[in-house]
Amino acid sequence: MGEAMQRVPVLIVGGGPVGLALAAELGWQGVRCILIEQGDGVVKTPKMNEVNTRSMEFCRRWGIAEQVLETPFPLAWPKDVVFMTTLSGYELGRVKRPPRQIRASEHSPEYTQTCSQHWFDPILQRFARSFSHVTLRYGCRFESFEETESGIVATVIDAASGASETIAAQYLIGCDGAGSAVRRASGIGLTGRGLLGHAVNMFFRVPGLLEICGKEPGTFFVPVDRGGVWANLRIIDPANALWRLMVNETGSNTTVENVDKTAYLRRALGRELAVEWVDLNLWRRQSVLAESYGDRRVFLAGDAAHQVSPTGALGMNTGLGDAVDLGWKLASLLQGWGGPQLLASYDRERRPVGARAVGSATQFHALQSGWGDGLEALDEASAAGDALRLRIGDILVNQVGREFRTMGLQLGYRYEDSPICIPDGTPPLPDDPETYRPSARPGGRAPHAWLSEGRSMIDFFGRGFTLLCFGSANDGKSFQSAAAARHMPLDIVHIDDRAIRNAYEGKLVLVRPDGHVAWRSDAPPRGVGALLDRVTGF
């Protein structure tokens, strides 16, 4: 007799940052889940380095934002982006970005953090593991699944023994990255431009590089020469002198063995320098979106659902939004207060956000092209060289630099066609990638405002729904009993602050667990029960 089949409400495939974030969200919401990951979970060198403002808000919601701040990247180190001819050559322009110690931004109690994946993934891992009902299983590969009446049965292989086993789950979530086996097994295709190019990341260690090359500190250095914008240098870990040189396009014939690391490094540094090579990864720059984010029992999140050029840092950050959206919906269904329409709203809400990320990242990438002509004097010590550098520097900061000014993209996405958000008839605000405009219009992220030292409006939003009452204390009463009758977790919060009330533009604002506005009005609705049914997917 074989061992009894494991049964679990949610099976997550893939232990990258998005799978870990989903396991964390489910754990935090009290849902039992198993995450299987084919690798050992150790991140040797990072892909992802920037945890954006919205992702930091999710970390704040989970209570782990402090841990991100405690990672070893120095708090006072400027995050500036520097355009230059070479690291030893002329500085052309600088996009100023505050250091990590500036914790809050204008529109959020958090701010984008430099926290590379070899630090960030372990934080998510530890947090997910802190819940006894979450199991992270490494060295376990997903092979296939079959749908049953009550869920799915997945076949998985244990890497160490080679043994095959089955796991039954009510829901299967593919967080298994670009090549997603769950996506392929579900027959879901990809749409979009496809392959944009072949790139390489080369990691090296060299102490005192900025001093040797005579550059003021920054985090991201973009060499521009007669070949245009061709690469970037990022300081990954200043204390350990770890750097990454990324070459944007290497051609399809490049292999790990034939990459000329020394030549690329010489071109970026503008000098010969002996370094300790640490790691090298070839990767493909993609611009694609899944045709569907799944339905019924099987869903996709993260790179399994959208693959973007890293320009704009929208890959993992968009994936974390998927995890939080899907996580609270699964939790409410499994806890019995969510209805059948909830999971259908996942695709309707998140796929347009994925499309927006794919489109923006592709545009940012395109802004790096076409810089090769007329740059002959860029490195010349002459008046013509000075004039060209001034002109080009300005254009680089304003155009290529756009990928570093994305507060609108980070905070301004909204769920326009969501079946579980109730429009209030107000028109949408312009969707400007650079500038975020706070708005409590249904579908959007409920805006931040400080209530007191260290306490933000967004700190109210969490495991259940929150009704914000800016008017009479009686206004929320009918919600209390209707929510209780549905076993729907609802906090009612009275806010006596004219400025915040004006910003929210409604006496009553109903906010979902993910911090998005579901409904707002100046008066209680005629049928509170029908309203609550709609926003919880019944």
Ligand X SMILES: Cc1cc2nc3c(=O)[nH]c(=O)nc-3n(C[C@H](O)[C@H](O)[C@H](O)COP(=O)(O)OP(=O)(O)OC[C@H]3O[C@@H](n4cnc5c(N)ncnc54)[C@H](O)[C@@H]3O)c2cc1C
> Which residues of this protein are in contact with ligand X, per CB under 6 A?
13-19, 36-39, 47-50, 141-142, 175-177, 181, 201, 246, 283, 302-303, 310, 313, 315-317, 319
Instruction: List CB contacts of 144: < 8 A, sequence separation 6 or more.
Output: 154, 155, 181, 185
Distance, CA of 442 to CA of 510 (rounded, Å): 9
Distance, CA of 484 to CA of 236 (rounded, Å): 50
Scanning the structure block, which residue is given the tokens 């009330």?
A: 501
Q: Residue 128 CB, nearest distance to ligand X (Å)?
A: 13
Do 142 and 158 touch, CB atoms closer than 8 A? no
Nearest CB to ligand X, comparing residues 28 and 220 = 220
> Shortest CA distance to 68 belongs to which of 132, 21, 11, 8?
21
Q: Residue 426 CB, nearest distance to ligand X (Å)?
A: 31
Q: Residue 14 CB, nearest distance to ligand X (Å)?
A: 3
Q: Residue 162 CB, nearest distance to ligand X (Å)?
A: 14
Nearest CB to ligand X, comparing residues 318 and 332 = 318
Do 516 and 415 touch, CB atoms closer than 8 A? yes
Q: Residue 49 CB, nearest distance to ligand X (Å)?
A: 4
Distance, CA of 124 to CA of 199 (rounded, Å): 28
Nearest CB to ligand X, comparing residues 16 and 393 = 16
Do 403 and 312 touch, CB atoms closer than 8 A? yes
Q: Residue 265 CB, nearest distance to ligand X (Å)?
A: 17
Q: Residue 305 CB, nearest distance to ligand X (Å)?
A: 8
Q: Is 397 helix (H, G, I), strand (E, B) or coil?
A: helix
Q: Residue 312 CB, nearest distance to ligand X (Å)?
A: 8
Structure tokens at 87: 């690291």
Q: For the purposes of burial, counting CB atoms within 10 Å of the CB of 5, is it exposed (0-12), middle (13-18) or buried (19 or more)?
A: exposed
Nearest CB to ligand X, comparing residues 322 and 475 = 322
Nearest CB to ligand X, comparing residues 155 and 521 = 155
Q: Residue 368 CB, nearest distance to ligand X (Å)?
A: 14
> Shortest CA distance to 220 belongs to which of 366, 317, 109, 96?
96
Nearest CB to ligand X, comparing residues 245 and 449 = 245
Q: Residue 503 CB, nearest distance to ligand X (Å)?
A: 28
DSSP characters over 306-337: EE--STTS-HHHHHHHHHHHHHHHHHHHHTT-
Nearest CB to ligand X, comparing residues 242 and 388 = 242
Distance, CA of 199 to CA of 261 (rounded, Å): 13
Nearest CB to ligand X, comparing residues 226 and 405 = 405
3-state secondary structure 115-147: CCHHHHHHHHHHHHHCCCCEEEEECEEEEEEEE
What does DSSP assign to residue 160? T
Q: Residue 1 CB, nearest distance to ligand X (Å)?
A: 27
Report the b/e string of 70-88 with b at 16+ CB within 10 A: ebebeeebbbbbbbbbbbb
Nearest CB to ligand X, comparing residues 19 and 447 = 19
H helix or E strand, kind and range, residue 228 = strand 228-229
Backbone angles phi, psi at 359, to 5 degrees: -65, -45
Q: Residue 207 CB, nearest distance to ligand X (Å)?
A: 24
- The CA-based dihedral angle spanning residues 344, 346, 347, 350, taken in that order and rounded to the nearest 10 degrees: 160
Distance, CA of 349 to CA of 354 (rounded, Å): 9
Q: Residue 17 CB, nearest distance to ligand X (Å)?
A: 5
Nearest CB to ligand X, comparing residues 31 and 35 = 35
Q: Residue 201 CB, nearest distance to ligand X (Å)?
A: 5
Nearest CB to ligand X, comparing residues 77 and 283 = 283
Distance, CA of 47 to CA of 377 (rounded, Å): 35
**Diameter of the chain by CA atoms?**
84
Do 261 and 202 touch, CB atoms closer than 8 A? yes
Do 320 and 17 touch, CB atoms closer than 8 A? yes
Nearest CB to ligand X, comparing residues 219 and 456 = 219
Q: What share of the chain is helix, strand, coil (3-state, %, to 5)?
A: 30, 25, 40
Nearest CB to ligand X, comparing residues 248 and 456 = 248
Nearest CB to ligand X, comparing residues 278 and 395 = 278
